[in-house]
A = this chain, B = another copy of it.
């Protein structure tokens, strides 16, 4: 383990980053000086600069050697590509694997793109099979092939299994580092057995009790092991009620079980209840964080996390889909307005007021849909709750419509001196809020029934509906009653 590596708190980590950046800046300054001298150079001068240059890099290397892989990953992510590669070259080769596992996908790609096959094979061979499975999708095919040859039969099997599970499954987040014991031995024997290890796998909070065929019989928490009489048999002490995961379970379900029962590790078994791996809390935490980030990014229409120093072109590619969708929905809304151009020509105030109706509807609809999607995700909404929820949301919409719509109606009436315009404004607001509430409840529930993820694009859908709907309702009412 990285015992000698320094653990930095948040401020220290910032200081580290600043140090690295300062050293890089100095290094660059010297390089620039060297390159700028296009006249035939004084040899001695050159030599001195070469030394200064080297000195900065040596100091940097020295600092990096003492840092934790996660901290180096953090620094690599914070640097633009050219500086990132300078730092990457200074990191000791045997640590490359650990660091590649820690950096974000975008940064990982940029690092791998600058390594040759030889280096990559060395990196891959330094990893456990479950880690290798995480990295494999980013590695060139020939590297994977090369590594595969070097694995034992058991490891090949593990790697093949780990890579075969879909990204959001328990199989994709499990590892194979477990300590197993038999149920017919005493704790004394277990304690002696543990002393044979150089170290226990990280996050070993319990031992797995299995029979000869690897069937999981129970779990033995270390906390129990430590407080109990060494003469006790494992059988008498092990817990037989525990969460066992299966590799095809959703990782999200596993994460929820970890949260509910405050787990540190959980066994993974196959359909015959044989122990095949385990999931640990650190992977679960990473999974939770990634999920919530992916959601946040998706909400803004970003396909994936962007390396903030990505090229303009990569960014355009990452963002275009969302803009295209919004262009289509905006175009439809624009055509709805286009249908009422005659009315707007006669009463131009409509043009100024219509975005308010559409906008507030969109906001209110987003509030409803966010709440319903969350409740569905937690599993707390049953299909028969739809009527109750709809009644509540319609109630909220009605109050908001009368309240805020009334306020705006008065404002419209005051600005344009037309009471009937005010009444149309209030009615349109209320109707659009009712539309937003109905859609906010039914869209996600309908999508669940159709087997779709209720969260994906829900905000786009409801905004599109309340925009076009809002324009249609407001301009329609105006055309009917004002012209």
Binding site for B on A (CB under 8 A): 3-7, 9-10, 13-14, 17, 21, 68, 70-71, 74, 77-78, 80, 191, 194-200, 202-205, 222-224, 226-229, 239, 241-243, 245, 249-250, 253, 256-262, 264, 281-282, 284-286, 288-289, 292-293, 295-297, 299-302, 305-306, 308-313, 315-316, 319-320, 322-324, 326-327, 330-331, 333-335, 337-338, 341, 344-345, 348-356, 358-360, 363-364, 366-367, 369-372, 374-375, 378-382, 385, 388-389, 392-393, 395-396, 399-400, 404, 407-408, 411, 415, 467, 471
Contact = CB atoms under 8 A, between A and B. Distances in A.
Nearest to A245: B9
A134 to B, nearest CB: 15
Contacts of A344: 344, 348, 351
Contact of A323 (B310, B338, B363): B363
Nearest to A190: B226
A51 to B, nearest CB: 28
Name the prevailing secondary structure of the A interface residues: helix
Contacts of A467: 355, 359
B71 A260 contact: yes
Nearest to A207: B226
A308 B380 contact: yes
A9 B249 contact: yes
Contacts of A399: 312-313, 316
A392 B310 CA distance: 8
Nearest to A376: B308
A123 to B, nearest CB: 20
Copies per assembly = 2
B7 A296 contact: no
A69 to B, nearest CB: 9
A389 B308 contact: yes
A300 B366 contact: yes
A254 to B, nearest CB: 9
B285 A281 contact: yes
Contacts of A393: 315
Given A191-B226, A344-B344, A389-B308, A257 B363 contact: no
Contacts of A333: 355-356, 359
Contacts of A14: 379
Given A9-B257, A200-B226, A330 B308 contact: no
A227 B194 contact: yes
Contact of A204 (B223, B292, B293, B411): B223
17 contacts: A9-B257, A13-B379, A199-B223, A299-B299, A300-B367, A300-B370, A308-B372, A308-B381, A316-B400, A322-B367, A326-B359, A327-B408, A331-B411, A335-B352, A341-B351, A350-B351, A355-B355
List of 10 A-B pairs having minimum Cβ-Cβ separation, nearest first: A312-B395, A300-B370, A292-B292, A262-B282, A351-B351, A10-B253, A78-B380, A70-B260, A337-B352, A200-B223
Given A322-B363, A331-B411, A352 B338 contact: yes
Contacts of A334: 352-353, 355-356
Given A7-B261, A258-B285, A259-B285, 15 more contacts: A10-B379, A70-B260, A70-B261, A78-B380, A191-B226, A202-B223, A202-B262, A264-B264, A285-B285, A302-B367, A315-B393, A316-B399, A322-B363, A330-B356, A334-B353
